[in-house]
């Protein structure tokens, strides 16, 4: 079924993204997996061809395309090329960080950060999660004490994607004890004294996507690095979380779709008992279920992308998209991997790598349990008092 919400410009962008993934990323991704990080120059190459910061205004090097369909296409291209970890590093930069840097910044901040963001010279990350605060954003403890013309920041963050590469880190800090109105967003920059990166974390999957611990010890951050208003951080995070969850949903759908394609190719070529595996009724039934799950998820997610572009996507619908897509991805990858037999356990096969990479999608951006809580609250099941 043709993706009816894509237009001619989107299809041209898809060709650009697929070509970049095939030529600049896919031949090298195995080496980067061993290194545990994507080389910084890959971001610069992506920026040079227009794959970074395309939603930024033209005066900063972007094209002003605030259309999440482009973000969706970029993720799909990298998943199709079995380069999902690199694509997700770009997605954190484009899909998660850019809304903060485009919408909450002053003119001076935009002039300072956005040109490098678009070119790939400046790599971005967002630091919310702490050792004691994951899905509960309001439990953040990293402190920022007002010291006149600057804040003094102390604390630690963990599981930060692009943490080793990042030059600008959008950091959620506590500026007052108030659970919600006490959170503020500060941009910490590479080279600030007291801002240290811990180890590049040894993850189960997504090996070339650098994920780090960050430590802040008496870091002096000028007030000119505040994003938005002091105390407005929680509201900003809640406003942008639906897009982050859509990014995860889109990636999960794209990975499941790629797995279906790889499995169809495999069962056509692999024989058992004198005929292709694909000729077996069980294979047809399994893949019929996978194809149906992918098609149904695609219809809902594409609709949610349209709603996101229109500014109408609710937190509950974003949670539904993430919950369904990530759980669907897990079911479909498991079914596909089973049809590969022993080959599905070998990391040289993309189905094995994708199955490992997919495990985290039901955790980051809010766990499946948190998504159910958001959806359940929206149903207003409790009687009115």
pLDDT bracket for residue 182 (50, 70, 90): very high
pLDDT bracket for residue 139 (50, 70, 90): confident
Q: Residue 41: what pLDDT?
A: 97
**224-229 long-range CB contacts below 8 Å, 24 or more apart?**
224/106, 224/108, 224/109, 225/109, 225/186, 225/187, 225/188, 225/189, 226/151, 226/184, 226/185, 226/186, 227/100, 227/101, 227/104, 227/105, 227/109, 227/170, 227/185, 227/186, 227/187, 228/104, 228/185
pLDDT at 180 over 90: no
Q: Residue 361: what pLDDT?
A: 97
Residue 266 to residues 135, 239, 259, 338, Cα–Cα distance (Å): 39, 43, 10, 12
State how far the Cα of 169 lies from the Cα of 7, in Å rounded to an integer. 34
Q: Domain spans of the chain?
A: 8-122, 125-231, 235-378
pLDDT in tens, 112-134: 999 999 999 999 999 999 987 77
pLDDT at 214 over 90: yes
Q: Residue 252: what pLDDT?
A: 98
Q: Residue 89: what pLDDT?
A: 96
Q: Residue 2: what pLDDT?
A: 61
Other Cβ atoms less than 10 A from the Cβ of 118: the count is: 25
> Helix %, strand %, coil % for the chain, to 5?
55, 15, 30
> What are residue 170's DSSP bridge partners?
126, 187
Q: What is the mean pLDDT of residues 284-308?
A: 97
Same fold, 8-122 and 125-231: no
Four-way CATH pick for 235-378: 1.10.760.10, 1.20.140.10, 2.30.30.100, 1.10.630.10: 1.20.140.10
Q: Residue 186: what pLDDT?
A: 98
Q: Residue 325: what pLDDT?
A: 98
Average pLDDT of the chain, as a whole number:
95
Q: What b/e readout covers 78-109, taking b as 16+ CB neighbours within 10 angstroms?
A: bbbbbbbbbbbbbbbbbbbbbbbbbebbeeeb
pLDDT in tens, 245-295: 999 999 999 999 999 999 999 999 998 888 899 999 999 999 999 999 999
The CATH topology of domain 8-122 is Butyryl-Coa Dehydrogenase, subunit A; domain 1 (1.10.540)
E strand or H helix at 156: strand 150-161
pLDDT in tens, 92-106: 999 999 999 999 999
Quote the tokens at residue 176: 């007052």
The CATH topology of domain 125-231 is Butyryl-CoA Dehydrogenase, subunit A; domain 2 (2.40.110)
**pTM of the predicted model, to two decimals?**
0.94
State how far the Cα of 75 lies from the Cα of 87, in Å rounded to an integer. 6
E strand or H helix at 43: helix 40-48
Residues 6+ apart with CB under 8 A from 195: 188, 189, 214, 215, 216, 219
Task: Give the CA radius of gyration of the chain.
Answer: 21
pLDDT bracket for residue 384 (50, 70, 90): low
State how far the Cα of 148 lies from the Cα of 357, in Å rounded to an integer. 45
How do beta strands 124-127 and 168-174 pair? parallel
Asked if 152 and 79 touch (Cβ cutoff 8 Å), the reply is no
DSSP 221-250: EEGGGEESSTT-HHHHHHHHHHHHHHHHHH
Asked if 81 and 22 touch (Cβ cutoff 8 Å), the reply is yes
pLDDT bracket for residue 142 (50, 70, 90): very high
Q: What b/e readout covers 191-226, taking b as 16+ CB neighbours within 10 angstroms?
A: ebeebebeebeebebbbbbbbbbbbbeebebeeebb
> What are residue 127's DSSP bridge partners?
171
* Percent share of the chain, pLDDT over 70: 99
> What are residue 154's DSSP bridge partners?
143
Active site residues: 244
């Amino acid at each position: 079924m043709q993706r009816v919400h894509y237009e001619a410009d989107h299809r041209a962008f898809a060709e650009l993204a697929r070509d970049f993934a095939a030529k600049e990323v896919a031949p090298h991704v195995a080496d980067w997996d061993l290194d545990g990080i994507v080389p910084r120059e890959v971001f610069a190459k992506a920026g040079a061809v227009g794959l970074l910061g395309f939603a930024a205004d033209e005066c900063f090097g972007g094209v002003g395309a605030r259309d999440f369909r482009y973000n969706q296409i970029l993720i799909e291209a990298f998943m199709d090329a079995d380069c999902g970890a690199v694509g997700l590093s770009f997605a954190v930069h484009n899909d998660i960080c850019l809304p903060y840097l485009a919408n909450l910044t002053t003119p001076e901040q935009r002039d300072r950060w956005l040109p490098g963001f678009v070119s790939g010279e400046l790599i971005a990350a967002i630091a919310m999660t702490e050792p004691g605060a994951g899905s509960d954003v309001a439990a953040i403890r990293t402190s920022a004490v007002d010291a006149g013309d600057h804040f003094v920041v102390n604390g630690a963050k963990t599981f930060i994607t692009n943490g080793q590469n990042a030059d600008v880190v959008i950091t959620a800090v506590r500026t007052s004890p108030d659970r919600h109105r006490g959170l503020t967003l500060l941009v910490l920059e590479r080279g600030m004294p007291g801002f240290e990166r811990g180890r590049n974390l040894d993850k189960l999957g997504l090996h070339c996507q650098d994920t780090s611990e960050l430590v802040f010890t008496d870091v002096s951050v000028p007030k000119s690095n505040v994003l938005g208003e002091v105390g407005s951080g929680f509201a900003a995070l809640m406003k942008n979380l639906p897009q982050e969850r859509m990014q995860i949903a889109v990636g999960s759908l794209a990975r499941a779709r790629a797995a279906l394609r790889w499995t169809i190719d495999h069962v056509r070529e692999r024989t058992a008992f004198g005929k292709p595996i694909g000729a077996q009724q069980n294979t047809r039934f399994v893949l019929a279920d996978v194809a149906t799950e992918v098609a149904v998820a695609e219809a809902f997610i594409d609709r949610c992308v349209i709603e996101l572009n229109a500014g109408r996507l609710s937190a509950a619908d974003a949670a539904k998209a993430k919950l369904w897509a990530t759980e669907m991805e897990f079911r479909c990858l498991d079914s596909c991997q089973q049809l590969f037999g022993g080959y599905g356990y070998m990391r040289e096969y993309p189905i094995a790598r994708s199955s490992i990479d997919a495990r985290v999608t039901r955790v980051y951006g809010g766990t499946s349990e948190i998504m159910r809580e958001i959806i359940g609250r929206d149903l207003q099941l409790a009687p009115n008092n």
